[in-house]
Amino acid sequence: MNKVVITGMGAVTPLGGGVEKFFENAAKGVCGIDKITSFDTSGSKVTLAAEVKDFNAEDYIDKKEARRMDRFCHFAMAAAEEAIGGSGLDLGSVNLDRCGVIVGSGIGGMLTYETEHIKYMEKGANRVSAFFIPMMIGNMASGFLSIKYGFRGANFSVVTACASGAHAIGEAFRQIKHGYLDMAIAGGTEAAITPFACAGFANMTALSTASDPNSASLPFDKRRNGFVMGEGAGVLVLESESHALKRGAKIYAEIAGYGATGDAYHITSPDPEGDGACRAMKQAMEEAGVLPHQVDYINAHGTGTPLNDKFETLAIKNALGEYAYKTSISSTKSMTGHLLGAAGAIEAIISVMAINKNIIPPTINYLEPDEELDLDYTVNKAKKKQVDVALSNSLGFGGHNAALLFRRV
């Protein structure tokens, strides 16, 4: 079995583009949530989101090519450029047949779908773009990245709702660990802050309807009443350790464990016993050979919905036992909002950066404790702490659970 390491990372987020800026703002407790600017929210139940600001796709992609991609692909291309650039990879010196791309998206090209449907309804079938299908389907981020970098190994997309990015990283980890690939680009991307998508989430009462950005995303707070939509992408370069060392790459951390489970319970609600999430964490720890007392930090799924935070807290207690009370936990969704299929990827980056910087980013906006939620949620202010082992949890509608374990090298 190969040891798998991370040699590059790239991020496009509501807290800024670039991994260093993203983590610096997360450590400062910067809130990326604000009034929605991408569409008119008049008549909408939801007026807040965590949008990516000051992003120009043409900084990363040829203008003509950019017009033939949805925004979710723009984000993936930008994040991958940073990740590949930071990895120091020389494309001419690696076996491209053993380099893969696994990038997930929970929803795919929702903006394209809405735009083209309006054209269809108002102007007829002949006005629908010939590029509608390849712009809309969720696998195209992986496809475009494979084409750009010439990676000819395993190339696919994972769709497990809000666990997509984490599962994509986990599946790439397995491909490398078991020897099918030498390296892979892995992560998640999402751009679903659109009128149609927001209406759908709002009407199922999943979203916060707050008007104050500092009272909207409230993980683990008793006042929590729904999540806030976010957008962006996170991409990591994973390699076998021997491959990375051979080319003299900088290693940020080892990915040492991956858990993937199903709740088999409900289409939107987590298992009320937290069983699926608990088993995912246990699987990741067992694969890594890590005991509960060795887990220094958990980046929680922590959506700020009444059920998720309650059941995830229970899952952490069941997975770590008495050590759950000694482990630092935070939900960075309090700052970034919920990036859906990209959430697990940017939170994996947060976890790796916590190891590199020895900083636990905070759960901001926390004012009112919930007596049922009594763990250390690192509230309102970052904490300096030696982090050798970090877990990142991602849970998706349909009962999809993923846990990734990262370890200092």
Q: Where are the domains of the chain?
A: 1-399+405-409
Predicted confidence at residue 226, as pLDDT, reads: 97
Predicted confidence at residue 270, as pLDDT, reads: 87
Predicted confidence at residue 85, as pLDDT, reads: 97
Cβ contacts of residue 324 below 8 Å, gap of 6+?
292, 316, 317, 375
Predicted confidence at residue 164, as pLDDT, reads: 98
DSSP 192-222: --SHHHHHHHHHTT-B---SSGGGT--TTBT
- Residue 243: what are its φ and ψ, rounded to 5°? -65, -45
CATH 3.20.20.70 correct for 1-399+405-409: no
* Residue 97 neighbours by CB distance under 10 Å: 12
Predicted confidence at residue 104, as pLDDT, reads: 97
Q: Contact at 8 Å (CB) between 279 and 314?
A: no
- Over residues 209-220, the pLDDT tens digits come to 999 999 999 999
Predicted confidence at residue 170, as pLDDT, reads: 98
Digits of tens for pLDDT over the chain (409 positions)? 999 999 999 999 999 999 999 999 999 999 999 999 999 999 899 999 999 999 999 999 999 999 999 999 999 999 999 999 999 999 999 999 999 999 999 999 999 999 999 999 999 999 999 999 999 999 999 999 999 999 999 999 999 999 999 999 999 999 999 999 999 999 999 999 999 999 999 999 999 999 999 999 999 999 999 999 999 999 999 999 999 999 999 999 999 999 999 999 999 888 899 999 999 999 999 999 999 999 999 999 999 999 999 999 999 999 999 999 999 999 999 999 999 999 999 999 999 999 999 999 999 999 999 999 999 999 999 999 999 999 999 999 999 999 999 999 9
| CA 221 and chain centroid, separation | 22
> What is the set of active-site residues?
162, 301, 338
Predicted confidence at residue 348, as pLDDT, reads: 98
Q: At what angle do helices 195-203 and 110-123 cross, to 10 degrees?
A: 110
Q: Is the pTM of this model over 0.95?
A: yes
373/304 Cα distance (integer angstroms): 12
